[in-house]
């Protein structure tokens, strides 16, 4: 399989890419590709790419000779933890660019390379972006952008149903990643990035057999 994953240089994306690269070609889009290059794995193809400054010419060059993309994992996320009244236009624009606009544009870009009947698009969202879940102060921009991703998932499943291209979303609870540590210093999440990556990798490969257009809550907390 040919798999594209964003945000692959750290956290869940990094661990997921390592798992998938054991048997598949994994194209990793990230601003910082050094951790990926250091793995020296021929199945990992690092591509320097900025999701905010979306330059499709970079993708044109990287995927010029790739005819088929079997799985897209929109994993990259940007979280700014600030009170609602202090979130700047740039903060909000950046979060929506990474969390909503870039998955939207990547799916548009790769659409013609997605094989009908077998392709799987997996969006990684957050429990904060699910209606009825517990919400936290400081995350209005982040959670609302992840909420947009969950609805986008349902919309695309409907749009692509005639092509039988499957689209699902995993709404993750707290995971011990660099992004979480930067936003909430000292907080200890119930899952490590490596443990959650096993679930994400398996779902990316096999979830399409059982689900389509679904928002799967992956958390041990209620609600």
Distance CA 18, CA 28 (A): 10
The per-residue pLDDT for 213 is 97
How much is the pTM?
0.92
Does residue 94 register a pLDDT over 70? yes
What pLDDT digit, counting tens, does each position of 142-158 carry? 999 999 999 999 999 99
How much is the mean pLDDT over the chain? 93
The per-residue pLDDT for 135 is 83
Could you tell me where the DSSP H helices lie in 69-139?
89-96, 102-110
Q: Element (H or E) spanning 131, and its range? A: none
What is the average per-residue pLDDT within 98-124?
97
Distance CA 101, CA 150 (A): 13
Name the CATH topology of 2-218: Rossmann fold (3.40.50)
Residue 168 near residue 212 (C-beta atoms within 8 A): yes
The domain spans of the chain are 2-218
């Amino acid at each position: 399989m040919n798999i594209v994953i964003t945000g692959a240089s750290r956290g869940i994306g990094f661990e997921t890419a390592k798992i998938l690269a054991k048997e598949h070609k994994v194209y990793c889009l990230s601003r910082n590709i050094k951790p990926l290059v250091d793995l020296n794995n021929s199945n990992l193809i690092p591509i320097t790419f900025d999701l905010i400054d979306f330059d499709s010419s970079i993708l044109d060059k990287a995927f010029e000779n790739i005819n088929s993309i079997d799985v897209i994992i929109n994993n990259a996320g940007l979280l700014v933890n600030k009170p609602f009244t202090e979130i700047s236009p740039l903060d909000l624009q950046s979060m929506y660019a990474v969390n909503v606009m870039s998955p939207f544009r990547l799916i548009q870009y790769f659409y013609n390379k997605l094989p009908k009947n077998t392709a799987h698009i997996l969006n990684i969202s957050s429990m904060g972006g699910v209606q009825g879940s517990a919400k936290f102060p400081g995350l209005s921009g982040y959670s609302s952008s992840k909420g947009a991703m969950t609805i986008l998932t349902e919309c695309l499943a409907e749009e692509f149903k005639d092509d039988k291209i499957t689209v699902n979303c995993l709404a993750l609870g707290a995971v011990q990643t660099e992004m979480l540590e930067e936003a909430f210093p000292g907080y200890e999440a119930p899952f490590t990035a490596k443990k959650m990556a096993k679930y994400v990798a398996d779902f990316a490969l096999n979830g399409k057999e059982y689900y389509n257009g679904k928002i799967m809550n992956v958390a041990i907390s209620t609600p």
